[in-house]
Amino acid sequence: MRGGAMWRIYGPVIAVAILGFVIALFVMDPAPPKTIRFGAGAPGGAYHAYAQRYQRLLAEQGVDVELVDTAGSIDNLRLLEEDFIDVALVQGGLTGVSEEKTLRSLGGLFEEPFWVFVREGVPATDFGDLKDLRVSIGPEGSGTRALAASLQRAYGGDWTNGARLAMSTREAEAALRAGDIDAAAFAASPDAAYIQALLHAEGIRLLPFDRAEAIARREEGLSSVILLRGVADIGSDIPERDVPLIAAVSQLVVRDDVHPAIEAVLLDAALAIHSDKSLFSPAGRFPNANNTDLPVSKQTIRFYRDGPSFLRRYFPFSVANFLDRAWVLAIPLLTLAFPLVRAAPPIYRWRVRRRIYIWYRDLRALEEEGRATPPGEPRKSVISRLERLQADIGKLDVPLSYNDDLYRLRSHVEFVRQLLSTAGPASSVQIS
């Protein structure tokens, strides 16, 4: 099959395939955005540090993450509902029915204990003893403040305004060290730098929650954990005894309209960031789809059950995402292409033979005209046209495998020419 002929036959098939591919690009799921907005919490906090790690990992996959500084979990939930940000870390136990309509969780990431540090000499052995003291419970909009307020209600009594001071993390740490306040509460990961610093600080102690188990059973979204003796610093024996604490599980929350591919790359990053062991959990416990208080998508459940998809394991994010979106169109495209490919060879054979057989119409017409024309000078005009026909057929170019048909045609032309060149009336023999 020669190149020109092959292109004439298979060109339409290729054109139809390209047209189908272009149509598929328009009808398949839209490509994921290249930029997302991440509610990062307050600078210097654990959430902000984690958000920066997500930013670095997603940048490696070609997704730009714009960090949005916020006051904390409550602020993150508000901005998510207002569609100002796409994803954020949110403390567990803070969501309600309204959030369940527009948000979903990508899983619990780490336990976030409620730390209450008090200065030495402050007469407090339990959280309820702080109601008349100077206590920072976090800024407005933070998960720390929401959890502290909930616990203050649980402990009862009238808490003074001095026990509800609104300070940022840095302000509260500095004020506690300087003695300007008696206690400071933080809902944070044990990996947060300021938590580690306060655990080692002179003149500051960690307040235990001796009724942590009871609180966890009463308050939705909370669990009890134990900070084991010496786990923060074996050599310095910090803490010097087991300390019961209450904790919420922080989760990665996205809007329900976030692209599934963005979910997938966020889940990959979450696994890389949060799967290591911590002071409260063994390696591999987090992230998971169990410790959430928001709906979890089927993709998230499948990820925690089976791991990353086949495409995500072996292809870069952009390639895997394109193939993942395009595969649903592969079957209809193949269904269209298969009969076209099968039909191409018969069409090719028909077109080549048609180029040969179409000359038989002119040959028959000349033969009939020659038979009806008396011999001599009038018939010479017909023979002349027959010779031109023979010359034109001689220029016909067909594949070698069809030369037998071509030479059969040429022999038939020669037969008719000789027939009409004989003297006397033409023979009645005709080409069948």
Quick count: other Cβ atoms within 10 Å of Cβ 421? 14
List residues bridging with 243 in a β-sheet.
227
Cis check: omega of the bond before 378, within 30 degrees of 0? no
User: 327-352, pLDDT tens digit by residue?
Assistant: 656 666 666 667 766 766 777 777 77
Cis check: omega of the bond before 239, within 30 degrees of 0? yes
> Under a CB-based contact definition with an 8 Å cutoff, are residues 301 and 284 in contact?
no
Percent of all residues in the chain with a pLDDT value above 90, rounded to a whole number: 43
pTM: 0.66
pLDDT over threshold 70, residue 97? yes
pLDDT at 1: 47
> Under a CB-based contact definition with an 8 Å cutoff, are residues 324 and 32 in contact?
no
Rounded to whole angstroms, the Cα distance separating 390 from 334 reads: 45
Q: Is 250 helix (H, G, I), strand (E, B) or coil?
A: strand
pLDDT at 8: 60
